[in-house]
């Protein structure tokens, strides 16, 4: 933890290469889009309502409506709303979503404390570097995190790191901020629920992890301390702090569903595009061979929008029915769509031990479609679109943001956001970005 604290204390914008800076900007823009779109979900609306009944003093803007609130409220609400559609970024080795915890915490303090654009970028990078390494250790059986899954759990340490950087804490207090974040981190024991097809609105507690990160750093600033037996980053397999910037290995999601569903989505789309005879009426059975933890995504009758995001049968049914997958399909009305459910009933998930060897560096799926005439069509997708080895293009990322943002702000404001994020390192005040949301609905 001491070396992590030293890394955070002494990292400067001038230490970052252009690729790392651009990655931070991409992550920020992508998450803003996720928040603006997520505000239209049931969970998003509840979270925004919560801000009204849990008022706070501060200058942090709620992006979906332009209202001002405390940094704590802003961090919690943006983290919750930004993960509601399951379209926020992720990291393969962390097996989760650092952005939905780190970015809302960093942005809320950067605006409240009148930080510069460069300072916000430094904080985001520090937060991702800590969060990703925490997440990687979280999967290690020797880690105290192993039995407590969830991005909020390990991401809270990264959020604390980001905020500590913005507050200019010394190395000792940075270390305590992370220790407090580790102590107060939320627990998301949802694996048993996931096995029976349920995903609650809390999901992986990203919002609460962001809130913990903010409070941890603010407490450390005043001399509060955390546990002494903190996470040992030296036990991780990722390069040491400063030897690589893992934020550059972030993946971005083209579809609003669990990342583990994406290889199957792309396999279905590939086969149907290649073989014109494949249509809804000609499909008899769809077999998906998948790694162990992904095999839990087999619920055919999800009861909530959140559960549908983790249902491979529903997702496949939606993309075959509509020819695309977007946030509009994840509504309560569509949960009972007979065409989607008719396809979902034909989907079978098969656990393939062979595919476990690739996880988490890769999340492969093998797709086989059997037709009513007895024909079989198969494909194997090793790396879905959006991973660092199969990236979304600059234009694809921008179009994703524009489509998500259009659910909450007009195109003129959307383009202003794009322009300011592009030039974030030139801003004397990061608040210039967040002031754009003053006119939001």
Mean pLDDT of the chain: 93
Q: How confident is the model at residue 230 (pLDDT cuts 50, 70, 90)?
A: confident
Which percentage of the chain shows pLDDT scores above 70? 97
pLDDT at 128 over 80: yes
Tell me if the pTM is above 0.85: yes
H-helix segments, 168-230 = 171-184, 191-195, 206-221
Please tell me the predicted confidence (pLDDT) of residue 253.
Answer: 98
d(CA 164, CA 185): 16
Q: Do domains 2-254+390-439 and 259-381 have the same CATH topology?
A: no
pLDDT at 145 over 50: no
CATH number for the domain whose boundaries are 259-381: 3.30.1330.120
Residue 348, beta-bridge partner list: 287
Q: What angle do CA 35, 125, 76 make, to 5 degrees?
A: 35
Please tell me the predicted confidence (pLDDT) of residue 84.
Answer: 96
Q: What angle do CA 258, 260, 262 make, to 5 degrees?
A: 85
Question: First and final CA of the chain: distance in angstroms?
Answer: 43
Query: In this structure, is the dihedral angle defined by the CA atoms of residues 64, 69, 74 and 77, taken in order, positive or negative?
Result: negative
Region 187-213: mean pLDDT is 86
Domain spans of the chain?
2-254+390-439, 259-381
pLDDT in tens, 158-170: 999 999 999 999 9
Region 104-111: mean pLDDT is 98
pLDDT at 322 over 50: yes
pLDDT at 190 over 60: yes
CATH number for the domain whose boundaries are 2-254+390-439: 1.10.4100.10
């Amino acid at each position: 933890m001491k070396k992590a604290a030293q890394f955070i204390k002494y990292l400067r914008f001038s230490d970052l290469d252009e690729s790392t800076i651009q990655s931070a900007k991409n992550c920020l823009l992508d998450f803003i889009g996720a928040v603006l779109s997520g505000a239209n979900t049931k969970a998003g609306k509840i979270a925004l309502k919560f801000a009204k009944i849990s008022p706070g003093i501060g200058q942090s803007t709620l992006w979906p409506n332009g209202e001002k609130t405390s940094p704590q409220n802003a961090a919690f609400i943006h983290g919750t709303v930004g993960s509601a559609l399951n379209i926020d970024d992720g990291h393969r080795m962390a097996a989760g979503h650092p952005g939905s915890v780190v970015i809302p915490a960093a942005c809320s303090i950067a605006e409240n404390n009148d930080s510069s654009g460069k300072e916000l970028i430094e904080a985001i990078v520090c937060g991702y570097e800590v969060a990703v390494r925490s997440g990687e250790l979280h999967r290690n059986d020797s880690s105290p995190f192993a039995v407590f899954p969830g991005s909020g759990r390990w991401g809270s340490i990264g959020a604390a790191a980001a905020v500590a950087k913005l507050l200019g804490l010394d190395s000792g207090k940075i270390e305590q901020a992370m220790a407090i974040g580790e102590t107060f981190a939320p627990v998301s024991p949802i694996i048993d629920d996931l096995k029976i097809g349920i995903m609650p609105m809390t999901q992986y507690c990203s919002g609460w992890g962001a809130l913990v990160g903010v409070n941890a750093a603010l407490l450390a600033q005043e001399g509060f301390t955390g546990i002494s037996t903190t996470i040992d980053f030296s036990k991780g397999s990722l390069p040491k702090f400063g030897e690589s910037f893992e934020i550059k290995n972030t993946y971005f999601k083209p579809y609003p569903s669990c990342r583990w569903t994406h290889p199957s989505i792309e396999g279905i789309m590939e086969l149907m595009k290649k073989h014109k005879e494949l249509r809804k009426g000609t499909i008899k059975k769809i077999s998906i061979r998948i790694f162990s933890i992904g095999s839990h995504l087999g619920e055919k009758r999800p009861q909530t929008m959140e559960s549908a995001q983790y249902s491979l049968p529903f997702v496949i049914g939606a993309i075959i029915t509509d020819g695309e997958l977007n946030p509009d399909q994840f509504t309560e009305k569509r949960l009972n769509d007979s065409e989607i459910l008719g396809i979902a009933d034909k989907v079978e998930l098969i656990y393939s031990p062979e595919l476990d060897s690739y996880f988490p560096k890769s999340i492969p799926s093998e797709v086989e479609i059997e037709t009513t005439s007895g024909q079989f069509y198969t494909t194997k997708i090793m790396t879905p679109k959006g991973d660092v080895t199969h990236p979304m293009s600059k234009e694809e990322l921008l179009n994703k943001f524009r489509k998500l943002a259009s659910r909450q702000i007009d195109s003129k404001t959307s383009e202003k956001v794009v322009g300011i994020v592009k030039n974030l390192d030139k801003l004397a005040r990061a608040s210039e970005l967040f002031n754009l949301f003053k006119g939001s609905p």
